[in-house]
Structure 1
Amino acid sequence: MARAPPLHQLSALLALCLAVAVCFSGVENAAAAAGSRKMVGVHELRMGDFSIKVTNWGATLMSVILPDSKGNLGDVVLGYDTVAEYVNGSAYFGGLIGRVANRIAGARFVLDGKAYRLYRNDGNNSLHGGHRGFSKVIWTVKEHVGGGDSPYITLYYHSFDGEQGFPGALDVYVTYQLSSPYGLSVRMNATAQSKATPVNLAHHAYWNLGGHGSGPVLGETVQLFASRYTPVADVATLIPTGALAPVAGTPYDFRAPAPLGARLADLLRRGGGVIAGYDTNYAVDVDDGAALTALRPVARVWDGATGRAMELWADQPGVQFYTSNGLGGVRGKGGSVYGRYGALCLETQGFPDAVNHPSFPSQIVRPGQVYKHDMVFKFSFA
């Protein structure tokens, strides 16, 4: 039988516990005095019949409610009813992805002569920042104006040096803002504090303009303003070869509006049962003379059943077009069950695995430099 510690040891232990409790209380009081808000909550922005909800868990967009051509309201993004479900979910519904979105081959890269090894969470590769990327952390609500002419919410996250294997501390902000008529902007920026680091933030909403629980999006019409894409060596790993290929004459060609279902059927037929759907990075077209950092058209989507349309503008070189190939039996909002092709994603971004492809646009941010990424969604109703 273990002997009880001497009385003087018990007294010392009690004093230590009291000191720790006082220390934590002081930290909490200081944070409260500074206006820091680290509790997880749900925050709404509203302009008439147009509204969104955002949680500071993962800076996640939980809902986008819009009218259709008949005035009926519907939620057009997939997701969950509760924050707890986002914490436990694995589909990245509506999350803010970082430090580096998409895949990094071998979960490693070399920067300024030093090799960095990342957390492997997609076979041998790193995906969406690792197993605990920015969509799986608590952000701080810095500002929130829920109504008025231009409602917005700004969230902040400090990523520490070495988080998920990435070098250097990084201060990250994202602002969601509504504008009239029916505009949603997502503005991201990040400042490197101490070391050079790759940064590639992305917003991972799953869109279904028919309504989040209305079934497959195969009846929607899609247009992508992209003449080239980055082919992959293996559709199982989705790591780019480093080349840029023309979409002309392939099922990847959405330069003219095309029914998604018909184009997808062509892709699956040519893929011979290996390809499950689109999970493809496109190089967004840039007009001659236009600045690479300027907003430009990326995509348009139409839903004939509801008359809803969505136009996306952004300032990034690429967009990942994903047709929810991996969804299957996911229980979402209101008891809806989301299946394969139940939504589409349009993730504007830098090119995948750019840290290992010098020919791709660089994602390296040096200390004091600011990374910026702006997206604007414009909704309408025919």
Structure 2
Amino acid sequence: MATSRAASLLPIALLMCLAFAGGAGAERKTVGVYELKNKKGDFSIKVTNWGATLMSVIVPDSKGNLADVVLGYDTIAEYVNGSSYFGALVGRVANRVAKGRFVLDGKAYHLYINDGKNALHGGHRGFSKVIWTVKEYVADGDAPHITFFYHSFDGEQGFPGALDVYVTYQLSSPYDLSLRMNATALDKATPVNLVNHAYWNLGGHGSGAVLGHLIQVFASLYTPVDGSMIPTGEVAGVSGTPYDLRRLTPVGSRIGLVSGGGAVGYDVNYAVHGQGMTQVAFLRDPASGRAFELWANQPGVQLYTGNWLKDEKGKGGAVYQQHGALCLETQAFPDAVNHPNFPSEIVRPGGVYRHDMIFKFSS
């Protein structure tokens, strides 16, 4: 990874008057907002080093009209206090760990419980609730990109071992947004499952429900869950169920037949077809013509249809309601650390976790 240029970036970023210190003599860290923009000027994103968070994605529709297609907030303070994980980089282990407990190499580990009796999205102070260091920032040109770094200490939120984590956001031609996540286990074996938690509405972030969006998920299997959203361990076929999205399907056509944790809508992990970099999903908004293909190299993808959104005050005065967006989170299987039959998410000392994803936008 490139050496730090953060000091030289501060005048470029839209800096917020938000500093964190861990006591006398502790390092002062400043949170900034950073923009990446293509040469044409019609494709851009904003990110912040608070939670390595994706704050906006602006892309044209079929008529060339620009709109921001991810949900979010106007201020960093709202991200700090928010509970919806809008655009956040979630970890050390995204999704749920049953009872916040797992056994690794004969030793039991206990995580911070923050979702009923379970651990969710890395605990109450997971990677989405910390300040990352800016390692490299190129705002425009042929390949605008930014790289964030976070060092997770041994025992953070109960997880074993120190971990060095990098995430890079990059724009490329014509309208591709890529995320590259990697993490090196420094001294102990540890589970790792990093996820980008963007909420997508291709009609524009404040345009209402996404029930008319067309979705296709390239998966014939999914992982059923119990009442507390913990996988049963079964890997079941989608055929004959409302979870079968192998053909292009309106999001709202069967949404009343599924629920997650008691709320109507999809909140399910699919087992993705193929290995390596493969197409995971396709999403299109017929009204605007905007669409994207999602490609990734992870075994699973969580489809979540914003089931718990209610009166959430967002950007530009928008108020987000149930099903006002959806998430497509490529990932390891939820609670994989407690299910030996699931693909392993364990990274051994010196080993490197790699998670790549690409959103290929079109209109």
Normalising by the residue count of structure 2, what TM-score does the alignment of the two structures yield? 0.91
* Among candidates 305, 312, 317, match of residue 335 of structure 1: 317
Q: Where does residue 202 of structure 2 map in the other structure?
A: 209
Amino acid of the residue matched to residue 258 of structure 2? L
Number of residue pairs the alignment of both structures matches: 338
Given the alignment of the two structures, is residue 248 of structure 1 paired with residue 231 of structure 2, yes or no? no
Match runs of 1:65-144 below 5 Å: 65-144=58-137
* Among candidates 219, 226, 239, match of residue 230 of structure 2: 239
Corresponding residue SS for 2:177 = strand
* Among candidates 291, 294, 307, match of residue 309 of structure 1: 291
Q: CA deviation at 1:274?
A: 4.7
Q: Where does residue 177 of structure 2 map in the other structure?
A: 184
* Higher Cα Rg, which structure: 1
Q: Where does residue 49 of structure 1 map in the other structure?
A: 42
Matches of 1:101 and 1:275, distance apart in 2: 20
Given the alignment of the two structures, is residue 326 of structure 1 paired with residue 317 of structure 2, yes or no? no
Percent identity over the alignment is 72
Amino acid of the residue matched to residue 111 of structure 2? L
* Among candidates 295, 298, 301, match of residue 280 of structure 2: 298
CA deviation vs aligned residue, 1:53-102 (integer Å, no higher than 9, x gap): 00000000000001111111100000001111100100000000000000
Equivalent pair of 1:100/1:129 in contact (CA under 8 Å): yes
Q: Where does residue 368 of structure 1 map in the other structure?
A: 350
Amino acid of the residue matched to residue 159 of structure 1? S
Q: CA deviation at 1:267?
A: 3.2
Q: CA deviation at 1:137?
A: 0.2
Equivalent pair of 1:38/1:141 in contact (CA under 8 Å): no
Runs of 5+ consecutive residues of structure 1 not aligned to the other structure: 1-22, 29-36, 287-291
Q: Where does residue 152 of structure 2 map in the other structure?
A: 159
Matches of 2:180 and 2:94, distance apart in 1: 16
Matches of 2:127 and 2:202, distance apart in 1: 26
Matches of 2:150 and 2:229, distance apart in 1: 29
Corresponding residue SS for 1:262 = coil
Match runs of 1:13-52 below 5 Å: 24=25, 38-47=29-38, 48-52=41-45
Amino acid of the residue matched to residue 236 of structure 2? A
Matches of 1:246 and 1:101, distance apart in 2: 24
CA deviation vs aligned residue, 1:5-44 (integer Å, no higher than 9, x gap): xxxxxxxxxxxxxxxxxx83xx75xxxxxxxx93100000
Equivalent pair of 2:223/2:236 in contact (CA under 8 Å): yes
Tell me which stretches of 4 or more aligned residues in structure 1 moved more than 4 Å. none
**Higher strand proportion:** 2
- Root mean square deviation of aligned Cα: 1.4
Q: CA deviation at 1:276?
A: 1.5
Matches of 1:359 and 1:38, distance apart in 2: 42
CA deviation vs aligned residue, 1:168-220 (integer Å, no higher than 9, x gap): 00000000000010000000000001111000001100000000000000010
Runs of 5+ consecutive residues of structure 2 not aligned to the other structure: 1-23
Equivalent pair of 2:297/2:355 in contact (CA under 8 Å): yes
Matches of 1:94 and 1:318, distance apart in 2: 19
Corresponding residue SS for 2:337 = helix
Cα 1:274/1:45, change in 2 over 3 Å: closer
Normalising by the residue count of structure 1, what TM-score does the alignment of the two structures yield? 0.87
